Structure 1
Amino acid sequence: MRAVVSTLSLLHAAPSEFTIERVRALVNQVGPEAPTVEYKEQMADTVARGVAALANTYGGLLLIGVTDRTRDLKGVKEKTVDYVADHCYAKIEPPWVPEIIPVPMDDDSGRYVLVLRVVPGQHPSPLLVGGIAYVRDHSTTHPADWQRLKQLFGEPESAQELAWNLQAPPQGGQDEDFVIRTGLNFPVSREALWRPLSERSIDAFADALNNSRLNSLLRRMSMGPAWSGGLYPFHREGFNRSRDVRLQWSGAPDNWPAGRDYPVEAVAHIQVPGAYGNHGQRLHVELDVSARTSGMFIALQEGRLPVEAVREPISVQGLAELMDAMLEAFVSQGIIAPLAELGAIDPLAVPQPRNLHVVMGRPVVEVLDTTGLREIRNAGTSLGFHLLADPALDMADAAERWRQVTLWMQQAALDAGLLGMENVLREIAPPAYP
C-alpha cells in the first residue's frame, strides 16, 4: 500500500477504498494533529466541536480510535457509529452529521477506526456548537474571533470549492503550438492579506522550479538534442509588485535569430489578495508553458527549406510528460513550503492542482503527432482542451499522477475527434524518476 501524502485523496475516495493500512499510512505521514486532521481516542463530547472546526476552516478528517499523543490505532466498538451520529446531530447547529466511515482493524479485535469526513462545501456554513463557531489553527481548535466570524457569515450558502478554479490562457497565434496552464487557487490566512510577498519565499519557489524535472524537460524541448544554447531559468521579469510576482523562463538553441520569440517560454504568476482593487482572500498561482517548437527549425533554416518541410508535430509522449512534470512541480515539498508561507497556512492545507488547460494556435490534428490515431469524420475542429482532475487521485503519487495524465490524454483525443489514444498510450512508459 502506498504512503498517503495528504488528506486530499481520502476526502474524495470511495468508502470502499478506506483500509486500515491506508489510515495507518495517513497517521504516520501527518504525525501530530494538523489543520486538516484531528484524532480522538474514543467518543467524547468534543467530537462535534472538532467536526465543526474542520468544516469552518479547510475541511478534513477526524479519526476516532487513534490516540492523540502517541498516535496508536486502538479502535472503538462498532456501535460507536450510532453514538457519534446522534451526538453530531444534537450538538451541531444547524443539525448536521458528517459522513462516518468505519474502517475495521486488522488485529481480530472486532474494533474499528471511525473516519469522519468533512468535505469543504458539502455542509451548511458556518457550523456552530453551543452558539460558537470553532475553527482550526494548526493543531488546535478554538472559537473564531470577530474577523473570522464576519468571513464565515459572509460566505455564500453554496461555498463549495469551485472545480474550475483557473481560467484558461488566451488563444495564441498560429506560430504558437500550445500553451499549457495549471496552478492553484486557495484561501489564505488573515495575516497574508496585509503583508507583501516575501522575497525569501519567492526565491525558494523559483529555486524549486529551477531544480525540478520540469526545468530539465523545458531545456530539452527548447534546445533539442544539441543541449546547448541560451537558457534563462525562472527569474523575476516584467510586472512585479509587492503582492504580484511574475517569474519568467526561456530557452533557445545556439544561433537563435535575434528578435524572434523563444521556442519555449514559461511564466509563473503569483498573486496574493490585498492589493488595491483586489478584495479576494485567495492566493492565485498560475504556471504557463508556451511552446513554438514546431517552428524551431524554420527559424534556424529560414530561406533554405519551405515551411511545410521543417514543421514537426508534438509527440503524444512529449505532451503527456510535460503535463506530468507540471503537476509534479506543484506537489513537491519545495513548492508547497513557500506557498504555505506566502498564504500563512499549514503546508497540509495547500491543495493539489485541479485544472489543466491546453490551448493551441492551430487545430489539434495539426499540432499533435497523430501516428496511430484516426480521425472521426465530420467531428469538427478542436483548438485545445480543458481538463479537470479526479479528486480521488493523489497527484503526489507518481503512479496515480500518470494515471490522471493518461486519462486526460484520452479525453483530449476524443475532444479532438481522434480515436486510438488508449492503444497509443499502452506503448508509452511512465516517466522515469530519479
Structure 2
Amino acid sequence: MTNSLFAASAADLTIERIRALAARPDQVESLTLEFKREYSKSLVTGIAAMANTYGGMILVGINDKVEVGVDRVVGVDAQETIDKIANACSEMLDPPWEPDFFTVPFDDGSGRSVIVIRIDPNVAPRPLLIDLRAPIRLSGRNSLADRDRLLRLAREEPSAGVLPRGQSVMAPRLNQDNAGEATEDFILRTGINLPMGEAGAWRPLSERTVSALAQALDRSSFRDALETLGHGSFSQATGFRQLGHNRSRTARLVFQAISRAPVSDPVEAVVTVNLPEPYGSTSTGLMASITFDVIARVRRYADSIKAEQDYRYPVPNLADLLDGLLRTLADPLVVTEIARIADIDTALVSQPRELHLLTDGHVRSLLHPEGLQEIPDAGASFGGTFRANPALDLRVAAERQEQVDDWIRQLGLDAGLTGMEARIERYRAKNKSTA
C-alpha cells in the first residue's frame, strides 16, 4: 500500500501529515483509501468492504470532494464519532468486529480531530457480512461479493496474508568465478511483494507489459543513479532489456554498462519479476515479487586498467544511488506498469521497506575516506540489512532523503566509522546551495 500513514506509528500520525495528504492533487479515493466528512452508516459498509478485500484506511473528518476555497480537512468530535462507529460495527457487522481507531487532534485549540481508521484484512474475521451480504472494495467505491468470491472468502485460511505488511526480500549472494573468488565489489538489493489480481494469478506474462516496464525503467531516475555510481567507468549502456532466465511467469530485465576494459560491466542492474505458480494452490493470497539488484564492479574496473590510485566509492555516489532506486520504485510510471503486470490497483503496489547490501571485503575498505575515521577495534562489516521507516512516504523528496540519510548513517556506524553524519550533511548543504 503506497499510503505511508497506514504503517505509521501513532506518534507519526500528525494533523500536518494528514493535511499534506488531503492537499495532494493526485490523492483521490481508491481501492484502499476513503474520505468521510462525518459518521454515516455507509462508513461501516466501507470498513467491511476493505476488510473483505485488501484492507485500507478511512479518514473521518475530511471532505471527499475538493472545492475551491473550502478547507478539505474539517474534523469531527473524536469521542462522539468513535462511539458511533464502534456501536455500528457491533450492531451491523456479522461477526461483530472493530478495526483500529486513531485520533489525530487539530493544533488550533478547536477540539476537533480527524479519525484514522485502519482496516487490516489479515486480522479481520473474513468474510464480514452486513445483512447476510459481503461488501467488497473496488477502485473508489464499494460493491457486493458474488457467490464465487464469497465462497473463496469463507474457505481461505485465517492467515492467508491478503496484503503484505512486511516487505521482506531474500538477501543476495555474490557471484563467484571458477576459483571461488567473488566477481563483484558489492550487490545491493531491494524489492516489494505484491498481491495478485484474479487475471494476474493465472495468465502468463505478456511481452507488451514486460517491454512497457523496461521502458518505464529507462525513463526513470534509475539510469542516472547507475551512471553516477559508475563514476566515469563507462560511456554507454544497453538500457533495460530481457536477458537470462525468462519464463512465462518470470521476467528478468538487465541494464549493463559498456566498457572496453577487462571488466566489461562496471555497473549492472537486474530487475526480476516473479509471479507465483497457481497450479495446485488453494490459497487466495498468492503473492508476486519484484526485486531490484545493483551490481557494482567499479573498483575491479579501476584495477583492470591499472588506475594510479586504489578506487573507493564516494559516499555521495552511494546516496544518489539509493535515492534514485527509491525514487524509481515510487515513480508513477513504474508503479503503473508493476500494477498492470500483477493485475491490481496501483494503490496496492507497496513501497520498499528493506534493503540488503553484501560486499566483497570490509565496507570501510570500499568507501572513500573523505571525512571518515575508523573506530579502533570496531570489527569488520560486510554489508547488512537496512530497514525503512514505514511512516515515510518515498514519493516525497524530503522524506525520501531522510530515509537515504538514515541508511547512509547506519552503513557508516556498522562499518566502524565516525564522521558519516557530518559527511552526508555537508553533501546535502552543497547540493542545496548549488540548486
Is the TM value for this pair above 0.5?
Answer: yes
Change beyond 3 A, Cα 1:28–1:373? closer
Within the candidate set 3, 6, 26, 1:7 is matched to 3
Structure 1 residues 401-410 or 146-155, which shifts more? 146-155
CA distance in 2, matches of 1:322, 1:365: 18
Q: 2:301 aligns with which of 296, 309, 323?
A: 296
Counterpart secondary structure, 2:277: coil
Q: 2:196 aligns with which of 162, 165, 188?
A: 188
Change (3 A) 1:212 1:152: farther
Deviation at 1:138, TM superposition (A): 1.4
* 1:311 is aligned to 2:310: yes
- The one-letter code of the counterpart of 1:42 is E
Report 1:167-206 matches (<5 A).
167-172=170-175, 173-206=181-214
Asked if 1 retains the 8 angstrom alpha-carbon contact of 2:50 and 2:137, the reply is: yes
**Residue 239 of structure 1 is aligned with which of 235, 238, 245?**
245
Per-residue CA shift, 1:334-379, capped at 9, x if unaligned?
1011111111111122111111111111111221223333333333
CA distance in 2, matches of 1:101, 1:162: 18
* CA distance in 2: counterparts of 1:36 and 1:106, whole angstroms: 27
Q: Give 2:277's aligned residue.
A: 274
Equivalent pairs: percent with the same residue?
Answer: 33
**Structure 2 CA distance for aligned equivalents of residues 85 and 353 of structure 1:** 33
Distance 1:391 1:284 in 2: 19
User: What TM-score, normalized to structure 1?
Assistant: 0.85
Q: Could you give the per-residue CA deviations for residues 164-188 of structure 1, whole angstroms, max 9, x where no partner exists? A: 5211111344441111111211112
Matched, 1:388 2:387: yes
d(CA) in 2 for partners of 1:108, 1:383: 51
Distance 1:49 1:335, change over 3 A: same
Spell out the pairing of 1:33-432 with structure 2 (5 A cutoff).
33-68=29-64, 73=73, 75-78=75-78, 79-103=80-104, 111-119=112-120, 121=122, 123-126=123-126, 128-130=128-130, 132-145=133-146, 146-147=148-149, 149-150=151-152, 153-157=155-159, 159=161, 161=164, 163-172=166-175, 173-222=181-230, 224=232, 228=235, 230-253=236-259, 255-257=260-262, 260-274=263-277, 281-301=286-306, 310-429=309-428
Distance 1:413 1:95, change over 3 A: farther
- Cα distance, 1:132–1:332 mapped onto 2, change above 3 Å: same
Residue of structure 2 equivalent to 1:22: 18
Partner amino acid, structure 1, of 2:144: P
Question: For the Cα contact (< 8 Å) 1:376–1:417, is it kept in 2?
Answer: yes
Distance in structure 2 (CA, Å) of the matches to 1:165 and 1:151: 26
One-letter amino acid of the counterpart of residue 83, structure 2 = D
Q: Where in structure 1 are there 5+ consecutive unaligned residues?
A: none
Q: Amino acid of the residue matched to residue 224 of structure 1?
A: G
Deviation at 1:295, TM superposition (A): 1.8
CA contact (8 A) 1:52 1:135 kept: yes
Unaligned stretches of 5+ in structure 2? 176-180
Partners in 2 of 1:392 and 1:420 — Cα distance? 27
Map Cα deviations across residues 93-123 of structure 1 (whole Å, 9 max, x no partner).
Answer: 45432233345569997654433222464x3
> Does the 8 Å CA contact 1:246/1:270 hold for their aligned counterparts?
yes
Quote the Cα distance in structure 2 between the aligned partners of 1:106 and 1:379. Answer: 46
Q: CA deviation at 1:399?
A: 0.9
Number of equivalent positions = 418
Partners in 1 of 2:280 and 2:254 — Cα distance? 25
CA distance in 1, matches of 2:421, 2:395: 23
1:428 match: secondary structure = helix
Q: What's the offset of the Cα at 1:19?
A: 1.5
